[in-house]
Structure 1
């Protein structure tokens, strides 16, 4: 039986519903993050702006997205997970619709800010719902389906926008209106379905009487922030996973951003072949997410995390050596850009294992912040290194950072993985 078949095998109705709805939300939110790249040139011409200005609009979205991770985590953990999910889809969809009707570039920036405000809530609301809707024995598979759906979301906008624009009389604005309107409908369906068909034990946060009383006495926003920071620092394993997510995303985004340049300028491949290798890495990565979920549930997170980044390290170093044949380099590029996906369900299951039931949303927000910081750092840091030292040195440096990932995993699992601790004690 395939990993996917095991992942979607016989499960309770409530589990299937939550996994399906949350995965659908993941598709939509990831679509919102990559709406601009397929039509950057068109947008620049329509609004008479530069690519740098469009980059600024995307930067506004990323900043707002990062800033609101922890507030959404607090909302999901202490107030209402369904509300967090509804706000996530509602605000993000409104942002897309604002851009669809934007008369000026200032409205585009405002729309991107709204998208960031919405998308910020998807991980903090998704993971608590998934964790409580699935038994521990199949939780990594649920996380892997969620991750697979996110990869589909990244892949969908170029195809969908191109198809809409190809229809007579329609433009990118119609495509954005279709996507944003679909997101609003999905948000409404998610909220109604969860309210009507999902047990309160899944959709409501876990709070004991002491926590509730403590929150009720805190009125100052500053005090709430201080309590949130104190709670985060009291979970060193989660802080460590957030640091690991930062370093790992720096590696993977570095490969994704510059592997086409490496294949064309370093190995002499044509741009079509190089871009095909990049696209293939996303497709293969989606499959690896499902495989990683199956392996994590069958074994445990530690070996999957270590094995995944050992593979990434090997393939990146091979690419950086500049001695392998060009076609082999294309294959290695696919694997270097996708092998890290094996680790995603293992990372998420370890985070879930280290979380008390009342802080799952905030803990996944911490990890998401790490991912976003790594994504932000990778392009400028490795781009500057390419200008300074060249492609070979840069990819060897990315490989060295991948080695750091393996070392961090070793420290994390030896100190914080409950399964490892039990095995050592035995």
Structure 2
């Protein structure tokens, strides 16, 4: 008797499983690298109280250190997209992680403002390449049905990196009694990540040996490498990142001292707001990854989520309940942390919207240019929000963050209109 033929529904399963494992492997490694880059965004801000104690700096001076990081990262990120398109993402990734290790060592041995500025500059140089690197690898190696989830995991890993940095750095500082030891520990983490990615380097290769990159193919078609800069959607995406990052900078660097001033929360308790904001943002990104596959007009997800977050931040800043009421400080901290849920929900839709707005063959360049708006937002806003605190205006931290989110919503809505019009014309 002949064997029964395999069930049509079961036949493709081995290939499906192999594809799933390959996608998950790449997504996990890129997530590890991206989380590390976000960890190094906060290499110095969690240590601000100790730096003020030891060096006597003002918040505005410390905000300028954040500006150094993001100024270097912003200029470098726009240029890194061209480098990634030309030589590939993987070698650029390893160079970036090496810069992080050097940055942490520079901070650990700093004897004054100049040493800390060098640490910020080296960390910014390392951070510059991450978004063109990450999205080039993900778009190249991850199958299309899982791309939304890849973007979700990518965003979650960034938030987890942000959440981990304050806990790691302040925890190690308290345990060891020295912020220098905490920075040395951050250097050790960067070296460990380099070792892991080196051992798994085949899973993050974005091109085969001898394969030409998108920059070569664009040149062969006679396209100018800067042609994508003529697209309004690219600059609207850039503006969206600028405004949304201004809000993020306010929360990351200054929400804790602002809550301390407004609600008399102990500083060590108020500092938990950053980790809380990042963790709720990560939870939002999990949900956002599923929404990307089910909603056509992505800008609607972005608008709804960010408007809700803006309203929450306004509530905290305007003290719409008595600051002296029992539990007022705890409620303010929890509400500020919950505002991260909205920004997280918007994250995967934001990244997919950029992909839809990008012309073919310009992935690295577009992501590099657009994400440099993130760096510019940090560089411009950090000293401004620091100055608000120096001038005893803590409510302005939350009001300014809310306004920035609303301006970002307007930019995302215009990008969505452009993408929809291009689809109708196609």
Q: Paired residue for 1:183, among 179, 186, 190?
A: 190
* Partners of 2:390 and 2:400 in 1: CA distance: 14
Contact 2:30 2:134 in 1 (8 A): yes
**Residue deviations 1:206-256 (CA, integer Å, cap 9, x gap):** 3454515869xxxxxxxxxxx65x334223212111111111222333355
* Structure 1 unmatched runs, 5+: 1-8, 216-226
Contact 1:82 1:191 in 2 (8 A): no
**Residue deviations 1:303-328 (CA, integer Å, cap 9, x gap):** 21122122123323434553346365
* Partners of 1:408 and 1:393 in 2: CA distance: 23
Other structure's SS at 1:298 match: coil
Q: Paired residue for 2:285, among 289, 293, 315?
A: 289
Q: Paired residue for 2:149, among 131, 141, 144?
A: 141
Contact 1:138 1:297 in 2 (8 A): no
- Pair 1:177–1:276, CA change in 2 (3 A): closer
Tell me by how many angstroms 1:130 deviates: 1.2
Partner in structure 1 of residue 158 of structure 2: 150
Partner in structure 2 of residue 250 of structure 1: 246
Normalization by structure 2: what TM-score?
Answer: 0.79
Tell me by how many angstroms 1:356 deviates: 3.3
- Pair 1:374–1:105, CA change in 2 (3 A): closer
Partner in structure 1 of residue 207 of structure 2: 200
Partner in structure 2 of residue 234 of structure 1: 230
* Partners of 1:268 and 1:164 in 2: CA distance: 25
* RCO higher in structure (CA 8 A, sep ≥6): 2
* Partners of 1:67 and 1:163 in 2: CA distance: 33
Q: Does 1:312 align with 2:320?
A: no
Q: Does 1:345 align with 2:341?
A: no
**Residue deviations 1:12-35 (CA, integer Å, cap 9, x gap):** 333222211111111222222222
Partner in structure 2 of residue 128 of structure 1: 136
- Pair 1:77–1:404, CA change in 2 (3 A): same
Partner in structure 2 of residue 110 of structure 1: 118
* Partners of 1:258 and 1:166 in 2: CA distance: 21
Partner in structure 2 of residue 220 of structure 1: none
Partner in structure 2 of residue 323 of structure 1: 320
- Pair 1:95–1:204, CA change in 2 (3 A): farther
**Residues matched between the structures, number:** 401
Q: Paired residue for 2:98, among 90, 100, 103?
A: 90
Other structure's SS at 1:358 match: coil
Other structure's SS at 1:84 match: helix
Contact 1:44 1:50 in 2 (8 A): yes
* Structure 2 unmatched runs, 5+: 1-16, 323-327
* Partners of 1:401 and 1:103 in 2: CA distance: 36
- Pair 1:92–1:214, CA change in 2 (3 A): farther
Other structure's SS at 2:154 match: helix
* Partners of 2:206 and 2:47 in 1: CA distance: 42
Tell me by how many angstroms 1:142 deviates: 0.9
* Partners of 1:107 and 1:101 in 2: CA distance: 7
Tell me by how many angstroms 1:349 deviates: 0.9
Q: Does 1:369 align with 2:372?
A: yes
- Pair 1:336–1:209, CA change in 2 (3 A): closer
